[in-house]
Amino acid sequence: MKFKLITGYLLCLYILGGCAVPTNKSSDKMKQDIGSQNPFYTESPLYMKFPQFDHITNEHYGPAFEKGMADHMAEIDAIAQQADSPTLENTIIAMEKSGALLDRVATVFFALTSANTNDEMEKIRSEMAPKLSAHSDQILLNGKLFQRVKSIYEQRFQLGLEAESQRLVEKYYNDFIRAGANLSDADKEALKKINGEMAVLQTTFSQNVLKEVNALAVVVDSKDDLDGLSDAAIEAAANEATSRKLEGKFVLTLRNTSGQPPMASLTNRALRERIHKTSLSRGSRGGDYDNRDALANVIKLRAERAQLMGYNNHAAYSLENQTAQTPNAVNERLSSLAPKAVANAEKEAADLQRMIIAEGGSFKLASWDWDFYTEKVRADRYNFDAAQLKPYLEMDNVLQNGVFFAATQLFGITFKERFDLPVYQEDVRVFEVFNEDGSVLALFLFDGYARSSKRGGAWMNAYVAQSKLKGTQPVIANHLNVTKPPEGEPTLMTFDEVITMFHEFGHALHGMFSDVNYPYFAGTSVPRDFVEYPSQVNEMWAVWPEVLKNYAVHHETGEAMPKELLEKVLATQKFNQGFATTEYLAASLLDQALHQLTPDQVPTGNEIIAFETDALKTAGVAMDVIPPRYRSTYFSHIIGGYSAGYYSYIWSEVLDADTVKWFKENGGLKRENGDHFRKTLLSRGGSDDALKIFKDFRGADPNIQPLLDRRGLN
């Protein structure tokens, strides 16, 4: 079992979600039956080790976690205590193979706790957080085990190892060092205490985010107040109200971001204001879901851990393992973009204010007006209404004739839907993926719809990672949060949702094309500021003419999207980029501001909001009309795997924009281009240095100019 996954489980704890339908059976006889029939205790017998979702119940998780940790620890002790001299095979590779049961249960558990939650699963998650933290510490702070790893590391150049094996040795050694293996016994005990407390707090934070986003859904009494929304959106709001026993009313659910989709369409300004202020208040309203104290304590504990490990702050500790390497490098990149982004945003705000005045409005532009008047300016400037696109963007058509079509054209892979494999929720679909020669590449799950039990946003995860060592092929999932239409209605997407679908499938390709020996390096096991790069590249095919004309057809008539409408889509690519860049940079700069603090500088919970305000002013991105994409009290990214890492999207976009330029210069959607991208980059996972992999593909260092051109920042 790869050690990256042990700590990775803890990173997953911030992801909100759930699992199978719970049962209430609790007798001793039932517990014995669960133990003997627990589907995690043996490898899944299904095709390609596909999870047995139809056999898994909540009662299976606790026993499987406990047994998995016990079995894993026995394996680790045997490795550490063996009399034979340490070798790659009997130590490093033995650890790669260890922990199979724990790997199985944790992979499924944390994948499903992001997709379909319930109270029982949340209870299990809270119980397991400190136990998994302690389990990880018990391994990575094992002195005898570390000495074996260190011995191999010191001899690595004399052992004649091939490149991937040598990198594996170096990564394992680095993981032990970064986990505190060189600390004194007293400091190790202090570190264990910090890790345990953080695991609990991070879980509490993430659970509060999900509970509050559901609890704060906005209730509307009159249909008249929903003027501007489509009939389908109004019906969906009515259905949501009915599901909450609020018949005759309408409920607008919240997304995880600061901005909320209905604000682009609602003509009722007072309702827009109510939605927006409700969204921004999350985590700081007082009451059961207030996250200010939890956040402050997590930030302080991270800073204390960093100093215990010899770093100035958590950002320095976290970034050392990324391509950016230092806080200064991140600060310079973000600060170089911020003034240009804000200048563009101020021009856009002036345009919106002029539109307000032109329509007879006497009020000053506010943050809850931005999306609404942006659409008006877009329509005026380009004679274009984003709503015109939706009839041409039916979800299944976008998936199969857009996303899959582009992958077939570029890489030669094909897809066949399967109905014989069990799924964890009725809307989930499964596809078998084939190479051009007919050989099986992977299984792909698509989970497209939003639901109250599913965390917000969009993401990819691997249920089974590719590995030659273990003889496994990838089982990969994509998740979106598209609003499910009423029964019998087509699922019509926004253009932003289409881009998201292409983006997430870029992650899926990274996972499916993985061709490495060791699980440690499989698929998206790359630095956090590199992982978004392939997914951002895949977005380009959404507007590639050959692809777009294949999927953008009217859901009723089958007619292609008119050429003039497509031209308007392309013409607006740089529109509103000042806003988009500023709200993103504000969140990224806030992340860095929090994580570049020393322990004594961390604000208390009551001071968090004031600190946020001051940090944005200091960074030069404080605009009342543009709040950060996430405020700190519901910023789930930085509680999980993106702590001091939210800058990754813009960092990766430098590589992405440069790669898009390469594709265009080399003929675009051509098989030879896809084969080159797959061979030199997508198949290699984390088996080599990330920037070296990029150079192997691109033939040159990354160039920032294409990014500046794309975002209108030049």
Q: What's the confidence (pLDDT) of residue 256? A: 86
Please state, in angstroms and rounded to a whole number, the distance separating the CA atoms of residues 582 and 622.
9
**Would 310 be classed as within a structural domain?**
yes
Residue 247 lies in domain = 216-280
Two tokens at 710? Answer: 């794309």
**Would 347 be classed as within a structural domain?**
yes
**568 confidence band (pLDDT: 50, 70, 90):** confident
Q: Clarify whether residues 521 and 634 are in a common domain.
A: no
Q: Clarify whether residues 591 and 633 are in a common domain.
A: yes
- From 630, 646, 662, the end of a domain falls on 646
How many CB atoms within 10 Å of residue 82? 14
| pLDDT for 385 beyond 50 | yes
Q: Are 208 and 294 in contact (CB under 8 A)?
A: yes
pLDDT digits (tens, 9 = 90+) for 632-691: 999 999 998 899 999 999 999 999 999 999 999 999 999 999 999 999 999 999 999 999
How many CB atoms within 10 Å of residue 618? 11
Q: What's the confidence (pLDDT) of residue 28? A: 45
Q: Are 506 and 537 in contact (CB under 8 A)?
A: yes
Q: Clarify whether residues 225 and 176 are in a common domain.
A: no
Two tokens at 290? Answer: 């207030």
Average pLDDT over residues 125-150: 97
Q: Clarify whether residues 406 and 360 are in a common domain.
A: no
**Would 203 be classed as within a structural domain?**
no
Q: What's the confidence (pLDDT) of residue 149? A: 98
Q: Are 536 and 524 in contact (CB under 8 A)?
A: no
What CATH number is associated with residue 364? 1.10.1370.10
- From 646, 665, 687, the end of a domain falls on 646
Q: Are 619 and 589 in contact (CB under 8 A)?
A: yes
Q: What's the confidence (pLDDT) of residue 7? A: 38
Q: Find all residues with CB under 8 Å of 158, minimum gap 6, and list them.
A: none
Report in angstroms the alpha-carbon separations of 617 from 45, 529, 598, 609, 622.
57, 25, 20, 13, 5
**Would 670 be classed as within a structural domain?**
no
Mean residue pLDDT across the chain: 93
**14 confidence band (pLDDT: 50, 70, 90):** very low
**18 confidence band (pLDDT: 50, 70, 90):** very low
Q: What's the confidence (pLDDT) of residue 6? A: 42
What CATH number is associated with residue 17? 1.10.1370.40
Q: Clarify whether residues 435 and 477 are in a common domain.
A: yes
Q: Clarify whether residues 109 and 40 are in a common domain.
A: yes
**13 confidence band (pLDDT: 50, 70, 90):** very low
Residue 220 host element (H or E): strand 218-220
For residue 426, give the 3-state DSSP assignment. Answer: coil
| pLDDT for 26 beyond 60 | no
Domain count, the chain: 4
- From 517, 544, 571, the end of a domain falls on 571
- The set of catalytic residues is 504
Which residues sit opposite 449 in a β-bridge? 482
Q: What's the confidence (pLDDT) of residue 298? A: 98
> What dihedral angle (degrees, nearest 10) is formed by the CA atoms of 386, 388, 391, 393?
-40
Q: What's the confidence (pLDDT) of residue 34? A: 52
Two tokens at 295? Answer: 């956040």
Average pLDDT over residues 555-580: 89
Please state, in angstroms and rounded to a whole number, the distance separating the CA atoms of residues 649 and 638.
13
Q: Which amino acid, 388?
A: Q
Q: Are 491 and 503 in contact (CB under 8 A)?
A: no
Q: What's the confidence (pLDDT) of residue 150? A: 98
Report in angstroms the alpha-carbon separations of 609 from 64, 201, 545, 628.
41, 19, 45, 12
Q: Are 98 and 75 in contact (CB under 8 A)?
A: yes
Q: Clarify whether residues 426 and 562 are in a common domain.
A: yes
Q: Clarify whether residues 133 and 59 are in a common domain.
A: yes
Q: Clarify whether residues 377 and 394 are in a common domain.
A: no
Q: Find all residues with CB under 8 Å of 189, minimum gap 6, and list them.
A: none
Q: Which of 23-27, 29-33, 459-463 shows the lowest per-residue confidence on average (mean pLDDT)?
A: 23-27
| pLDDT for 3 beyond 60 | no
**117 confidence band (pLDDT: 50, 70, 90):** confident
Q: Clarify whether residues 132 and 46 are in a common domain.
A: yes
**563 confidence band (pLDDT: 50, 70, 90):** confident
| pLDDT for 42 beyond 80 | yes
Q: Clarify whether residues 31 and 177 are in a common domain.
A: yes
pLDDT digits (tens, 9 = 90+) for 317-331: 999 999 999 999 999
Please state, in angstroms and rounded to a whole number, the distance separating the CA atoms of residues 636 and 629.
12
Q: Which residue has tokens 């899926």?
A: 508
pLDDT digits (tens, 9 = 90+) for 398-433: 999 999 999 999 999 999 999 999 999 999 999 999
pLDDT digits (tens, 9 = 90+) for 84-113: 999 999 999 999 999 999 999 999 999 999
Q: What's the confidence (pLDDT) of residue 35? A: 56
**Would 108 be classed as within a structural domain?**
yes
Q: Clarify whether residues 555 and 454 are in a common domain.
A: yes
Q: Which amino acid, 122?
A: E
**Would 62 be classed as within a structural domain?**
yes
Q: Find all residues with CB under 8 Å of 294, minimum gap 6, and list them.
A: 201, 204, 205, 208, 605
| pLDDT for 131 beyond 50 | yes
**Would 63 be classed as within a structural domain?**
yes
State the first-to-last Cα distance of the chain, in angstroms, to the nearest integer. Answer: 47
How many CB atoms within 10 Å of residue 681? 23
**Would 539 be classed as within a structural domain?**
yes
